């Protein structure tokens, strides 16, 4: 390990060590998603059977995007809900938020704003969980990773589906490949179209396959996408993104001696347990390079779509 890498590790440890033995004060950026009241209740309500101790939401910056209806029409209501029900202080900007908290949940619905918002969190030296989608382009995702490393601030991003029962229930010996499926609505504001929602079944595929995809090809219609990835060891992973007909999440795995399938989901609580532990340790439960590969997968799928379904290598 180089002296520079040692320096980054030391800085990250200095940031998170004070959080080990105290209730972590959490700040939320972006009150325009249903995750905000759901996460706040799990962290702040000791009477909740799924309560996660060790962290408490104390402040939030509303944010919001006027050109996304679900953001524009819900941000004020969700902000008012967590203020009224849980005493969360609503602040006017991100630097003020960071001055009041130990760690940050970046929840903004709009992946386009994540880079600019997380820059301010990195500058304040606060560990941060960045909810899906990490970004709206591969370039923004890579810049987030670069800035986090430059500032020595730990971050991670994941879908709660990574912790779904389906992942454990479809574990097989000698995994040869897998198929995952899930909703794949597309929003015109997000150029990397699969990042808006298909990122969830893609994360589910990666949860069972692991990293190592080298190329993809994509078949796209109005009602569905099928993205087929070739892994560097010869395994094949497939995602079906659903926009018409019966929907839902699930995964099927193909092993040496058996095939397994499950549609059992997850809960926010399982993911938040990992988030709180990350705030304490500074160790991302999903390595940053795996998160970046998922964006490389989606970027290659977009380029394949633009080329009529041609096989495209990850870049």
pLDDT tens for 160-195 read 999 999 999 999 999 999 999 999 999 999 999 999
Res 10 pLDDT > 90? no
What domains sit in the chain, N to C, each tagged with a CATH number?
3-157 (3.40.50.720), 161-266+297-313 (3.30.360.10)
Write the CB contacts of 254 (distance below 8 Å, at least 6 apart in sequence): 172, 175, 176, 177, 178
Digit-coded pLDDT (tens) for 104-142: 999 999 999 999 999 999 999 999 999 999 999 999 999
Average pLDDT for residues 144-156, to the nearest whole number?
A: 98
Task: Give pLDDT, residue 18.
Answer: 55
Backbone Cα Rg of the chain? 19
Q: Helix 199-209 and helix 288-306: axis angle, to 10°? A: 120
More confident residue, 254 or 22: 254
Mean of the pLDDT values across residues 221-226? 98
Ordered alpha helix ranges (H), the chain = 3-16, 35-44, 69-72, 75-86, 94-100, 114-124, 138-151, 165-169, 199-209, 268-281, 288-306
Residue 234 is given by DSSP the state: S
In the predicted structure, residue 53 carries a pLDDT above the cut 60: yes
Instruction: Express each pLDDT in 56-85 by its tens digit.
Output: 999 999 999 999 999 999 999 999 999 999
Alpha carbon dihedral 94, 118, 113, 115, in 10-degree steps, equals 150
Say if residues 177 and 238 touch (Cβ distance below 8 Å).
Answer: yes
Percent of the chain with pLDDT over 90: 92
At 21, is the pLDDT very low, low, confident or very high (cuts 50, 70, 90)?
Answer: low
- The reported pLDDT for the residue numbered 308 is 97
* pLDDT (tens digit per residue) in 203-216: 999 999 999 999 99
Rounded Cα gap, residues 87 and 58, in angstroms: 7
Question: Residue 314, Cβ neighbours under 10 Å: how many?
Answer: 20
Q: Is residue 5's pLDDT more than 80?
A: no
Q: Could you read off the pLDDT of 85-103 as tens digits, one per residue? A: 999 999 999 999 999 999 9
Q: For the chain, give the percent of residues with pLDDT over 70.
A: 93
Task: Look at residue 19 and tell me whether its pLDDT is greater than 90.
Answer: no
C-alpha to C-alpha distance for 53 and 123, rounded to whole angstroms: 27
pTM as predicted: 0.91
Q: Residue 189 and residue 67: Cα distance in Å, rounded?
A: 8
């Amino acid at each position: 390990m180089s002296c520079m890498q040692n320096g980054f590790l030391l800085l990250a440890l200095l940031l998170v060590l004070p959080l080990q033995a105290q209730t972590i004060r959490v700040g939320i950026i972006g009150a325009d998603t249903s995750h905000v009241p759901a996460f706040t209740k799990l962290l702040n309500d000791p009477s909740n059977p799924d309560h996660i101790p060790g962290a408490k939401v104390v402040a939030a910056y509303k944010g919001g995007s006027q050109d996304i209806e679900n953001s524009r029409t819900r941000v004020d209501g969700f902000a008012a809900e967590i203020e009224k029900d849980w005493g969360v202080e609503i602040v006017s900007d991100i630097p003020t938020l960071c001055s009041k908290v130990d760690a940050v949940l970046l929840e903004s619905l709009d992946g386009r704003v994540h880079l600019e918002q997380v820059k301010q969190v990195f500058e304040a030296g606060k560990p941060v969980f960045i909810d899906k989608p990490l970004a709206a382009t591969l370039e923004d995702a890579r810049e987030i990773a670069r800035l986090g490393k430059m500032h020595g601030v730990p971050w991670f991003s994941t879908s709660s589906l990574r912790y779904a029962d389906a992942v454990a229930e479809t574990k097989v010996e000698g995994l040869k490949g897998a198929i995952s499926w899930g909703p794949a609505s597309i929003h015109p504001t997000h150029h990397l179209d699969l990042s808006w929602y298909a990122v969830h079944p893609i994360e589910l595929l990666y949860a069972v396959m692991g990293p190592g995809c080298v190329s993809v090809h994509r078949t796209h219609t109005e009602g569905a996408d099928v993205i087929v990835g070739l892994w560097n060891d010869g395994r094949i992973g497939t995602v079906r993104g659903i926009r018409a007909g019966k929907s839902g999440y699930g995964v099927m795995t193909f092993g040496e001696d058996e095939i397994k399938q499950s549609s059992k989901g997850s809960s926010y609580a399982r993911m938040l347990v990992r988030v709180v532990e990350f705030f304490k340790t500074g160790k991302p439960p999903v390595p940053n390079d795996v998160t970046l590969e998922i964006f490389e997968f989606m970027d290659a799928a977009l380029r394949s779509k633009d080329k009529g379904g041609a096989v495209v290598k990850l870049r």
